[in-house]
Copies of this chain bind each other. A is one copy, B any other.
Amino acid sequence: MNTHAAMPNLTGPGGGPYLRNAWYVAGWADELVADEPQAKVFLEEPVALFRDADGVAKAIGGRCPHRFAPLGRGRMADGILTCPYHGLGFDGSGTCVLNPHQGEAPPKVSVAAYPLVERYRLLWIWMGDAAKADPATIPDFAWLDDPRWEAVRGSVVAEGHFELYVDNILDLSHANFVHPALVANSFTLGERKFWQDGEKVFSRYTRPDDYLSEGISAMVGTTGRKQDFIGEVVWHAPGNLYFDFRVADPGTPYDQMTLLPSIHAFTPETAGTTHYLWATARDFALGDAEFSAIMRGALEFAFEHEDAPLIRDAHRLMKGQDFWDLRPLVLSGDGGGIRARRQLRRMIAAEQGRVLEDN
């Protein structure tokens, strides 16, 4: 237990309200190993993740009702998660089913049970009304689980409110400035289009017949040649983004372009910290470990060491104030982020039975 990181501090004003009836990414499925439960915090709530006796991933309330210890730091005993402090055992429904003391019956107590679905190599958690949790509404990231695709990936807890991270992906015009080694002019000079379709928000960048960055050119093997480029981001509320990145020799039909699909999933941990999970895949150079290592290193540097510190600083400079109260200047690149922020605000209001006068 002593080798675990400390639980985050949870006092102070919160970062919500949050959308509760929604699927959030809770982590990489294969990182949740049998007999190694995890203690995490989502939406400022402690959650314990574990695999039951059948290997099924479960998520239950992460604070023991007895003495408030982090259940996710406990041990597994026959598929039961036992509290690290006094050994009460909870099953995947959050019900206390084990009392190791004096042969007594388990107390009639339970912690929350969060619907948890393992899909596309990810764990998806529902932090709201379980009766409304429909796995069919989990956004499609099938390529993550498709052997034709090989992904590099990462996950990190990053400082900053999660909506700032969502904004970052929905406005890829930042890339030229934040990731100088990775991109060229496409995101700044290419045609941009933003739109909403149902609850989804889209950002599309199109730049035909121009040079890619040296880094991307080398990665897709087009160094020195102009390319067509189409990048499309899809936002699934509240914080799951798909990035469809396509390049090809000019004139290549859309479905024959080289595709690099990405996921950027943001789940709020606390008011000021965000679980950032990412992956980018390719359907070439499969099994090439050196290629993977270079690709992974470049992306990890971009997301965790270029984006994250900048968003951390913007978060700090916001001084805990509301985004809209700060009256942000709107640029042409904000069409995606602002649609998503407004959509999320509407969804939260609807969920809480509130009527928004503006928006």
Q: Which A residues are closer than 8 A to B by beta carbons?
A: 1-2, 4, 6-11, 39, 46, 62-70, 73-75, 82-88, 99-104, 107, 109, 159, 164, 167, 171, 173-174, 176-178, 188-189, 192, 305-306, 309-310, 312-314, 316-320, 326, 328-333
Question: DSSP majority for the A interface?
Answer: loop
Contacts of A101 in B (CB 8 A): 173, 188, 331-333
- Which residue from B9, B68, B84, B319 sits with its C-beta under 8 Å from A177? B84
Contacts of A75 in B (CB 8 A): 177
A336 to chain B, nearest CB (A): 13
The closest CB in chain B to the CB of A190 belongs to B102
- Which residue from B102, B189, B310 sits with its C-beta under 8 Å from A85? B310
Contacts of A73 in B (CB 8 A): 310, 313
- Which residue from B39, B74, B104, B319 sits with its C-beta under 8 Å from A332? B104
19 contacts between A and B (CB under 8 A): A1-B309, A2-B306, A2-B309, A7-B316, A8-B316, A66-B328, A66-B331, A68-B318, A68-B328, A69-B310, A70-B313, A70-B314, A85-B174, A85-B177, A85-B178, A86-B171, A87-B177, A101-B173, A101-B333
Contact yes or no, B314 A67, CB < 8 A? yes
Contact yes or no, A4 B309, CB < 8 A? yes
Contact yes or no, B329 A109, CB < 8 A? yes
Contacts of A319 in B (CB 8 A): 10-11
Contact yes or no, A84 B8, CB < 8 A? no
Contacts of A63 in B (CB 8 A): 317
Contacts of A309 in B (CB 8 A): 1-2, 4, 6
A33 to chain B, nearest CB (A): 19
The closest CB in chain B to the CB of A301 belongs to B2
Contact yes or no, A178 B102, CB < 8 A? no
Contact yes or no, B320 A1, CB < 8 A? no
Given A99-B331, A177-B86; A68-B314 close (CB under 8 Å): yes
Point out which of A99, A176, A310, A312 has the most chain B C-beta atoms below 10 A from its C-beta: A310
CA gap between A306 and B62 in the complex, in Å: 19
Contact yes or no, A333 B4, CB < 8 A? no
Contact yes or no, A102 B328, CB < 8 A? no
A231 to chain B, nearest CB (A): 15
Contacts of A159 in B (CB 8 A): 6
Contact yes or no, B316 A9, CB < 8 A? yes
New A-B pairs, 5, CB < 8 Å, besides A10-B319, A88-B331, A103-B189: A1-B309, A7-B316, A11-B319, A66-B331, A82-B177
The closest CB in chain B to the CB of A177 belongs to B87
- Which residue from B84, B88, B176, B328 sits with its C-beta under 8 Å from A100? B176
A177 to chain B, nearest CB (A): 5
CA gap between A82 and B177 in the complex, in Å: 9
